[in-house]
Chains A and B, each alone.
Chain A
């Protein structure tokens, strides 16, 4: 009887160790190397909107670029993306998820950099199903693309 409990306990403890180890290593293995604008933008889109329609992916890229041009935000792409608290995908590490080779996010980043902007200068977006901020609802929605609302 005590043997069975002991086995269970052992398995539980080993699982806990394995999970915490993998969590540690997954964090270390993604180094922050030098990436070009396209790749950095693509990774941000991948973290924020990889499940969105193509237009929605371009739109998220465009919002990041619109922030670069806005005086209230940092003046570089990296500055905007890594501004503390600006994007959930950066806070929770989703931005480091490798890009699926079949994914369209790199193309979307390229189109956004080439000037396609389905949001016409928007600097905010949020998912109305998950957004918790009251402040964001005070913004006038310019357009809805996929799951996201976009605003100036």
Chain B
């Protein structure tokens, strides 16, 4: 009995001991488990980090390669521009001049495209970009001139010589940069860092070469020629802006009249727009009978108080009128607001709104430069947009006199003459701010409508347009 009791005591003690050890063991195991987990997670993070670093390095390399490609191509193109500009002055036949100048056109266009892919701050190379774009544009207009039978004159030769000198300097600057790039003094990633932020001030760290290259073009001659990038296109005058200066209150009155009686709940002037071409008052209107989204905006010119543009953005409901009706409504709106002789030409439909182009007509001549666009909502016929910039820039008294060619003579110039459906006199704009009096012929080839413009005085074919006819509208290309 006694023995039993003792052995039981020993047993219990042993058991306690054992349990204690077990507990300790488990605790230390749990501790270990925790440690292992931390190690595993840290390992995973490290691997992940290494992978990310690797990917980032690869991407950086790819980006560097792309920048290098753009740069080396730029250098090649500039070399070609330089050589071709020199060659252009040595050609004897108009055919060869045209061939060489079209090379200048292509090479300088490609150079400009590559230049703008480099990670350089805004404005640092803008003169260089301008130089290349204008050289491309100018040579294109010269190619056109030569193919129309008018050879390069002395003054143009002088221009080519000046441009060649500039291209030689540009090439020199770029070759210096190429050297920096080759021996590791120039790294795109450093340049890119400087050029990242929008409008950032030109940093001290930006390689001086960029600035030096650009400076050479400060003395670039002003280039005026028949092309969209010609200098004169940036400083045009508004010919159609008639009338005297109006005050802000007079402008508000004009705007109220324009939008119709009782349509406006409140008008606030937001800003004065001093753009130098058409100075305006900028207004915000709260429209009557509209929910909270009933806010429209418009500009009224200081000179003459013309509404230059109007925009009312709203949800458009179910369509209840067709485009034909919309054209009528737009025409009536224009006639009621001082533009009586407007004829619709092209239109587009988006989100229940028809945007319709109207051109001024007089004595059977359509004046396409005098353009007004009207947006008509197709749910209720409301005018939700108006834009008269084309009209206000171009509309003026013209005196072309009687055309030298008769319509029949002009028709003979159209090769596909037998396909012509309709014709008329029209004044068309060039992309360099001038106008040409033409006979406009509409025809059809392979189910595609087209327009041909024959100069009414010289008989030259001035333009060919294809009419794109779709459910969403009629456009030209």
A positions within 8 Å CB-CB of B: 2-3, 6, 9-10, 13-14, 16-17, 20, 24, 53-55, 58, 69-75, 79, 83-88, 91, 104, 107-108, 110-111, 114-122, 124, 126, 131-136, 140, 142-145, 152
Contacts and interface: CB of A to CB of B under 8 A. Distances in A.
B277 A114 contact: no
Given A3-B34, A116-B387, A152-B275, A72 B129 contact: yes
A115 B195 contact: no
A74 B112 contact: yes
B313 interface: yes
6 contacts: A2-B34, A24-B52, A114-B355, A117-B389, A142-B275, A152-B276
Interface in B351-400: 351, 355, 373, 385, 387, 389-390
B190 interface: no
| Majority SS at the chain B contact face | mixed
B297 A55 contact: yes
B450 interface: no
A69 B200 CA distance: 23
A118 to B, nearest CB: 7
A142 B116 contact: no
Contacts of A134: 201
**In the complex, the 7 A-B pairs of residues with the closest C-beta atoms, listed nearest first:** A120-B275, A71-B133, A85-B195, A84-B119, A133-B199, A72-B126, A71-B229
Contact of A114 (B192, B195, B348): B348
Nearest to B198: A88
Nearest to A21: B48
B311 interface: yes
A27 B113 CA distance: 27
Contact of A85 (B119, B272, B282, B309): B119
B428 to A, nearest CB: 17
A122 B387 CA distance: 17
A13 B44 CA distance: 10
Contacts of B123: 135
A10 B198 contact: no
Interface of B: 31, 34, 37-38, 41-42, 44-45, 48, 52, 109, 112-113, 116-123, 126-127, 129-130, 133-134, 137, 192, 195-202, 228-229, 233-234, 270-278, 280, 282, 295, 297, 299, 309, 311, 313, 348, 350-351, 355, 373, 385, 387, 389-390
Contact of A142 (B48, B274, B387): B274
B198 A69 contact: no
Given A88-B198, A111-B385, A132-B197, A2 B297 contact: no
Nearest to B229: A71
A75 B129 CA distance: 10
B329 to A, nearest CB: 18
B48 A17 contact: yes
B52 A17 contact: no
A115 B199 contact: no
B192 A143 contact: no
A103 to B, nearest CB: 11
Given A20-B48, A135-B123, A143 B282 contact: yes
Contact of A118 (B234, B309, B355, B385): B309
A32 to B, nearest CB: 13
A86 B229 contact: no
A72 B127 contact: yes
A98 B25 CA distance: 56
A55 B296 CA distance: 9
B133 A124 contact: no
